[in-house]
Amino acid sequence: MTVRFALRLAVLGVLCLPAVLLAVGQQTPTFRAGTDLVLIDTRVVGRDGTPVTGLKPDQFEVFIDGRRRAVASAEFVRGDAAGTPPAEGSAAGADPSIVVLAVDEGSFPATARASAREAATRVVDRAAGDVYLGMIAFPSGREVAPTRDRAPMREGIVQISGVRADVLPGRFNISATEATLLKSRLPGAIKEIVDRECPPFPPDPNCPQRLIHEGSTIADTLDYQGLRTLSGLHGVLDAVAPLPGRKTLIVISAGLPLSNRPGAVSNLDAETVRIAHRAAAANINLYVFYMNVHYLRYYSAEYGKRNNTIFEDVNLFATGLEKFADSGGGSFAQIEVNANPFVDRVLREVSSFYMVGVRTEPGDHDGKEHAIRVAVKQGGTTVRYRRFVIIPAPPR
């Protein structure tokens, strides 16, 4: 999947994208050794995601490793993701917009795949005609190389499947959250579940052990789902990173289960952050749509069981995705029914950006990651930017 997609993207970049994209679109958070200026791709938006225009360099505050740095320039660049006309005074020659949908099929039960299809369709319906749209669905490997032709995207969306293995069968009524508690084997954490599922009459001394075993099996299934999602995201980044210029990645997922309880679902924090850093290093504007199919599904007739920790379950599936979005300097949205407002916001946000020029110091040029923080002196705004920058050491 990844190799074919990357090769097709390479051909697309050479033959289809405008020359300006190849000439000036290569913007990564790694900079030439010896330069005293770092360029930080920064989006400043209002409460509804509308880009804020007219900001001057002295309205930005930038910190590298906690130390304030001088802001030398702030150039506003208008793109076309939402189909809006260029703002007066905005820089000309903005990169064409490239939006890739990454659909985590492995997180969706087959009965909830319509949710993934609906969200993807909304992006196709609402993106401007000049936007290049592409899609990678994993683990099936379905892909559509970025194109302005909407027909291949619609054909690909119809084929999105839900392949998550359900954990419904079993003797006991165990939720996802309770499964992680049972696998942790902490006595205080599991007593309530044992008391509920193993009644004293008729007595069954083996019931608690069978309960813990079944819960651990469910937790292992969730663990596998999380690992498969992270593996799929690695593959997506392998495919999307070679694209020139600025690009937006919208991850559509029903959850990345993550628990930090000892012995429960694997602690995937470090790997989640590492993948998010890969997205930032690839110059990707990251958006994560968490399709909360769990709440309605748990109260549907097809589920057939009572869920005692529904709100905890919703958070369990959200935690990993939210961490991924935050660590990559992106945005996280929880969607229950209507994806339109979230899609519209994404397209508005990525339609423009500021290229903020920041002075560096000699000690910054070491080829290592440096934490950055960007703020603006204007209320009612949200600032999106990468959380780190790499400045190469000067040649010896």
302-352 pLDDT tens trace: 555 677 788 888 999 999 999 999 988 889 999 988 899 999 999 999 888
Q: Which two tokens stand for residue 160?
A: 């999105």
What DSSP letter does each residue of 121-144 carry, written as one string?
A: HHHHHHS-TTSEEEEEEETTTEEE
Q: Which two tokens stand for residue 303?
A: 């589920």
Can you tell me the distance from the alpha carbon of 367 to that of 60, in angstroms, rounded to the nearest whole number? 25
- Residue 96's pLDDT is what? 66
Can you tell me the distance from the alpha carbon of 321 to that of 273, in angstroms, rounded to the nearest whole number? 10
Pair (91, 102) in one structural domain: no
**Residue 13 domain-assigned (yes or no):** no
Q: Domain containing 274 — which CATH number? A: 3.40.50.410
Bridging pattern class, strands 132-138 and 98-104: parallel
- Residue 267's pLDDT is what? 58
39 within 8 A of 353, measured Cβ to Cβ: no
Bridging pattern class, strands 142-147 and 132-138: antiparallel
Integer angstrom CA distances of residue 210 from 70, 190, 207, 262, 344: 63, 13, 5, 20, 49
Pair (66, 111) in one structural domain: no
Pair (234, 284) in one structural domain: yes
- Residue 375's pLDDT is what? 96
Number of domains into which the chain is organized: 2
- Residue 125's pLDDT is what? 96
What DSSP letter does each residue of 42-82 carry, written as one string?
A: EEEE-TTSPBP----GGGEEEEETTEEE-EEEEEEEE--TT
**Residue 3 domain-assigned (yes or no):** no
Burial class (CB in 10 A: 0-12, 13-18, 19+), 127: buried
Residue 386: CB partners within 8 Å, gap ≥ 6? 29, 40, 41, 280, 328, 329, 372
**Residue 185 domain-assigned (yes or no):** no
Pair (219, 289) in one structural domain: yes
Could you read off the pLDDT tens digit of each residue along the chain, which spans 396 residues?
444 554 454 444 433 433 323 322 333 444 443 458 888 989 999 999 999 999 999 999 999 999 999 999 999 998 655 544 444 444 444 556 899 999 999 999 888 889 999 999 999 999 999 899 999 999 999 999 999 999 999 999 999 987 665 555 578 888 888 998 888 887 777 888 999 999 888 889 999 999 999 999 988 888 888 899 999 999 999 999 999 877 899 999 999 987 766 554 555 778 888 899 888 888 799 999 999 988 766 665 555 567 778 888 899 999 999 999 998 888 999 998 889 999 999 999 988 899 999 998 888 888 888 889 999 999 999 999 888 888 877 776
H or E segment at 386? none
Pair (367, 238) in one structural domain: no
126 closest CA partner among 90, 93, 153, 86 = 153
- Residue 74's pLDDT is what? 96
Can you tell me the distance from the alpha carbon of 179 to that of 166, in angstroms, rounded to the nearest whole number? 13
Q: Which two tokens stand for residue 339?
A: 């994806």
Question: 72: number of CA atoms within 13 Å, CB side?
Answer: 9
Pair (313, 297) in one structural domain: yes
Alpha-helical regions (H) of 187-305: 187-197, 207-240, 269-281, 294-298
- Residue 122's pLDDT is what? 96
Pair (225, 367) in one structural domain: no
Burial 333-353 (b: 16+ CB within 10 A, else e): bbbeeebeebbebbbbbbbbb
358 closest CA partner among 72, 35, 74, 31 = 72
What is the number of other CB atoms lying within 10 angstroms of the CB of residue 209? 12
- Residue 395's pLDDT is what? 73
Pair (305, 344) in one structural domain: yes
39 within 8 A of 355, measured Cβ to Cβ: yes
Pair (317, 242) in one structural domain: yes
Q: Which domain holds residue 91?
A: 31-95+351-390
Pair (105, 222) in one structural domain: yes
Greatest Cα pair distance in the chain: 79
Residue 260: helix, strand or coil by DSSP?
A: coil
Pair (237, 127) in one structural domain: yes
> What is the residue-averaged pLDDT of the chain?
82
- Residue 392's pLDDT is what? 78
Pair (81, 107) in one structural domain: no
Residue 64 β-bridge partners: 67, 372
Residue 334: helix, strand or coil by DSSP?
A: strand
Overall pTM surpassing 0.95 (yes/no):
no
Q: What letter represents residue 50's amino acid? A: T
Can you tell me the distance from the alpha carbon of 391 to that of 37, in angstroms, rounded to the nearest whole number? 10
